[in-house]
Amino acid sequence: MQNLHQKITETVIEYRKQEGLLIELTQEADFTKFYLELGYSSLFEYLNQGQGISAATVSNLITVARKAVQIPAMKEAIDSGEVGLAKLRKVSSVITSENKSEWIEKSKKLSCRELEKEVSKVSTYKPRRDFWQRINSDYFRLSIDTTESFKALAERAQDVCSKKCQSNKTLTEVFEWALNEVLAKHDPVIKAEKAEAKKKSVTAKTAPKNQSVTQDSGPTDNKREHIPQDILNQVILRDKGRCSFQKNGRRCNHRRFLDIHHIKPVKDGGQNTVENLAILCETHHIYLHNREEIEKSLALIRQFRD
């Protein structure tokens, strides 16, 4: 039994050293942003989807890695094998250069629950990241932190939906109903689909046979002009309302904070045509416009590191 205990203890220490190495690599990835070239729009997405690390662990890893840049003693504590990633994540919101020794010592001695109590005495609450957890092939469990006002809105929506349908509705049914209502009015993909369907219907009734609908040719000078909605609709439908950046057979799956990108820049004569426009997330849009400078910086970093 004593031999087994010793082996487990030694393995835990080695495991924490590997956590320290992972923190160091995460810091480097966060600085170089190399994952953009692989088609990922964020470090979280790269570690979670690209490396298969759970969302909770990725959240802990990134938080501690970024905090450890300011407070290297956090990584040193993990390297020593005396404290793990999960505990340092709990103190990351309160630890500073001035009190680092106190909180690292508490992380070593206290249990996770005791540590949470100590942090709660001096820290204001910050909502957690929303988490989806698969229950079976058909269902997920969604974990979110909400306010009193959100709770009141949800309960009122539940009342309204139940009355409208003349039957008691679960929150899942209410949220599905409300989300469909919102998307029908505001989702650019759905709006583009409706516009295209309407245009085809009108064209079929009024246009002579063999006559095609021409696209706007875009600006003829080098000044940026408003992109016609019809052109935007075609781009949105083609790219399916998702970042179109692709590298090595992998396409970025980001669907938020999307920009319209001119493949040939307007300043170089690029026009507002479907062929010259693409949807990109903000991160890859910035990356493409600054790729040359970014690659030069990465080359210098690699040269310095090697």
pLDDT band at 301 (very low <50, low <70, confident <90, very high): low
Residue 129 CA to residue 146 CA, distance in Å, equals: 11
Domain ranges of the chain: 2-122, 146-186, 229-294
pTM more than 0.85: no
Q: Mean pLDDT score of the chain, rounded to an integer?
A: 86
- Residue 238 CB neighbour total at 10 angstroms: 15
Q: Which range is most confident: 10-19, 110-119, 125-134?
A: 110-119
* pLDDT given at position 248: 81
- DSSP code of residue 274: G
Q: How far is CA 44 from CA 41, 48, 50, 129, in A?
A: 9, 6, 9, 12
Helix (H) or strand (E) holding 216: none
- What is residue 141's three-state secondary structure? strand
**Rg, C-alpha atoms of the chain:** 26
One-letter amino acid of 195: A
